[in-house]
Chains A and B, each alone.
Chain A
């Protein structure tokens, strides 16, 4: 059994079924992100783990102990909120020591642990300040230290970076990951930002309409999405509609162009499927070997600095592709007839 074991979790608010048969096992020390759009149920699952919501059905176990009906204040779970939720009337030190005081630890032990936590977040000199005297990034660091001080079994992070500006977000996410690794604490991180989820996590749970669509490593989620939603939600994706001509032989018709994928297809002959490709695996020009080659015209060019994103109109739709900027090769002009190649292997086949 996993350290944090969530089984058949369901949650309804009146007629609204928010979480549907959610199952997840998180190993000790693992960092798992819940990724999904607003309203997908990711925060609700987190709040059920924290004890702020009661599941309609299902079970939550931590280290073998059933937590499903245990009140939030008896779960020994640390939580960091999007709005920091630091106690305005307490100093940084008092905030960090709050959980230890509640647990009945002695003054010396509290002082030592608070010092340790301040060291960990690099704010030793700000211990006597009040929360309103700190920046957003500093407040969130204190909130993290406060959650970690009582040595919780599990750390829950509810979109902790959403209220911060871009630069602080990046530095703080690296810091959170470093601290999580140093302490080896089992962590669940809720976010709607795919870059955060992919860059920080051991595994990502992509949620959609209350269901965990896919649970996998960031590499798997990005490169081998199992559902159409995951493929479209994570990263940029080219989608081309095609008709299956021979499912067993992997032959499809892209508009009027016959394309051979050289592998059996899930659909039946005559069915419509979607072919998906990430912009970085589409190349400009004809490539030899196992490549699908399509003819088209340059429809748009976006110069992004180190990368140039080119949009090519092909039979059956448009394809976006990324190429690195090369000073001696200016991007092609609009309307230029070109050929684009995609490896058979990298083309994703999704049900239409």
Chain B
């Protein structure tokens, strides 16, 4: 029994060290900007940089738009696939997994070829067009996470009965989706949303190749030109991702009618 415990602890300790050592090293390095002193100077410099504020703000707005568009596309799709076309589920699942299989660089090259300035739809020719293209690209990148989260949420409720109950009470599709279905998969939608947020905030390939000044290219530029600030930025990026994960847990456990507590 004691032997078993020892090996269990050893495995946990090994895994912990594997994850934590590089982070501790990076954090430690980010704190040594001032010679001979341990300080948050690198963080101060990064946070005070107007370019950081601008690119981070831009990425946050884009992430929020991605989440909204993702919800508008994914929730009705996942709902109707489960309710009316269960046979299509494997097809939709396959399609939503494609962004994990096809490298983003291939996708963005495809976008540039199809929507360049000499095409019928020259989206890359204008600021708005490029942003819309980037937004659509991010929605697609978030599909594997968003669809899976929402689909898992829908699995926990009896959508057929709830839909029929709402219909018999006079509700139309819009009300059923917004008042009955969405609130009941809200925690799942949030999970997908936070994952989406974390992905979009640090995304580099799409933004760089579409020549957009977002947080991803800023981090890379910073990495190539500064010494201590990139480590501070990386720690900040990690903190944002973890905060998103923490919020998922928080919303799951605090939901008033959570299916987990039933």
Contacts and interface: CB of A to CB of B under 8 A. Distances in A.
Nearest to A88: B257
A89 B164 contact: no
B257 A130 contact: yes
Interface stretch (B55-63, B122-130, B167-175): B167-175
Contacts of B172: 73
A150 B167 CA distance: 13
Interface in B203-231: none
B258 to A, nearest CB: 9
Interface string A55-84: 000000000000000011111111101010
B164 A81 contact: yes
A89 B183 contact: yes
Given A83-B158, A87-B162, A130-B257, A72 B183 contact: no
Interface stretch (A95-103, A164-172, A209-217, A224-232): A95-103
A66 to B, nearest CB: 19
B168 A89 contact: no
A30 B183 CA distance: 38
Contacts of A85: 158, 161-162, 164-165
Contacts of A88: 157, 184, 257, 259, 262
Contacts of B164: 50, 52, 72, 79, 81, 85
A75 B169 CA distance: 9
B35 interface: no
Nearest to A74: B170
Contacts of B166: 73, 87, 98
A121 B170 CA distance: 22
A87 B165 contact: yes
A73 B158 CA distance: 19
A132 interface: yes
A132 B257 contact: yes
A154 to B, nearest CB: 11
Interface residue SS majority, chain B = helix
B157 A102 contact: no
A41 interface: no
A77 B168 contact: yes
A347 interface: no
Interface centre among B167, B183, B256 (most CB of A within 10 A): B167
Contacts of A147: 168-169
A88 to B, nearest CB: 5
A146 B183 CA distance: 19
B261 interface: yes
A86 B169 CA distance: 12
A296 interface: no
A78 B164 CA distance: 11
B140 interface: no
A13 B180 CA distance: 29
Given A81-B161, A85-B165, A132 B170 contact: no
Nearest to A89: B183
Interface band, chain B: 20 to 34
A267 interface: no
Nearest to B157: A88
Contact of B167 (A73, A83, A143): A73
A103 B161 contact: no
Contacts of B171: 73, 98, 102
Contact of A102 (B161, B162, B170, B186): B170
B225 to A, nearest CB: 50
A322 B201 CA distance: 79
A279 interface: no
A76 B170 contact: yes
B169 A130 contact: no
A89 B179 CA distance: 9
A88 B179 CA distance: 11
Contacts of A218: none
A143 B164 CA distance: 13
Nearest to B161: A85
B169 A98 contact: yes
A36 interface: no
A132 B157 contact: no
Contacts of B179: 87, 98
Contacts of A160: none
A75 B164 CA distance: 13
A79 B165 contact: yes
Nearest to A77: B168
B161 to A, nearest CB: 4
Interface centre among A73, A78, A89 (most CB of B within 10 A): A89
Contact of B257 (A75, A77, A89, A143): A89
8 contacts: A72-B168, A87-B179, A87-B184, A89-B257, A98-B166, A102-B175, A146-B165, A146-B169
Shortest beta-carbon contacts, A-B, top 5: A99-B169, A85-B161, A85-B165, A89-B183, A79-B168
Interface of B: 157-158, 161-162, 164-172, 175, 179-180, 183-184, 186, 256-257, 259, 261-262
